[in-house]
Structure 1
């Protein structure tokens, strides 16, 4: 038998595909510039730990300010709303639950208590998850000049 690498079926592995895979790995870059020529363990570790910031989106400062402000505001409001809905699901005497039951009563609908509990619970958890997702996505944006290792532009400021 030869010394050629084999796959699980026992046949020799395709050398061209192995060379293409190693070339693709070695042509990756750390920061989007020209290819480095080798895939070092340090750059792989940096990406795995999140310090490479490979998923960040660099935008103009005006866009960064708007995205950061509005996404944080929306995230906070939806998380607070989620907890209010969870409160309404667990307390039979909450103001939110009374308001919803009263609104349904005005149109002649009397929802079951278990239905309201389930509805408030699902909506509350969904609202919290939505707020967390928006915050995570909003935190991916960076302004030009914020590409420092920890993402804090003040660390590079000589005046501090």
Structure 2
């Protein structure tokens, strides 16, 4: 009769058995710096850029404005290229349609890039665990 896995001592041994490694190397992998950071500095998002509040406000306002104008303009250009989505496939201007799609993508990339900026003193919402779990 095979051994019951629930009766073995360590979960690392079970993981090691399924992966084909020994328990010591599985335990070492769990304690590696990538698996378990030592302090809060390691858990910070390296892609975020901390800037002064005035710069943050300008980046947020102008990047949002550029993104909205680019996306709306892209849809307008795409609408012109497809004649309000009523044109036959042979009547669509592919170059104008690609420009429209490119403007939409440019607006999305601009907005996504702007979300990397943070003002001094701003935390990252996904890193906050100080809030209580009860909202009532």
- Which consecutive residues of structure 2, in runs of 5 or more, have no partner in the other structure? 1-7, 127-136
Tell me the equivalent position of 1:22: 30
CA distance in 2, matches of 1:85, 1:17: 58
TM-score (norm 1): 0.51
CA distance in 1, matches of 2:65, 2:26: 49
Q: CA RMSD in A?
A: 3.5
Is 1:131 paired with 2:107? yes
CA distance in 2, matches of 1:61, 1:73: 18
CA distance in 2, matches of 1:91, 1:79: 18
- The alignment covers a number of residue pairs equal to 108
TM-score (norm 2): 0.58
Q: CA deviation at 1:19?
A: 3.5
Q: 1:123 to 1:17 in 2, by over 3 A?
A: farther
- Which consecutive residues of structure 1, in runs of 5 or more, have no partner in the other structure? 36-52, 93-112, 151-160
Is 1:80 paired with 2:72? yes
Matches within 5 A, 1:44-123: 54=45, 56-91=48-83, 114=90, 117-123=93-99
Deviations 1:38-70 (A, max 9, x none): xxxxxxxxxxxxxxx846432221321222122
Matches within 5 A, 1:36-47: none
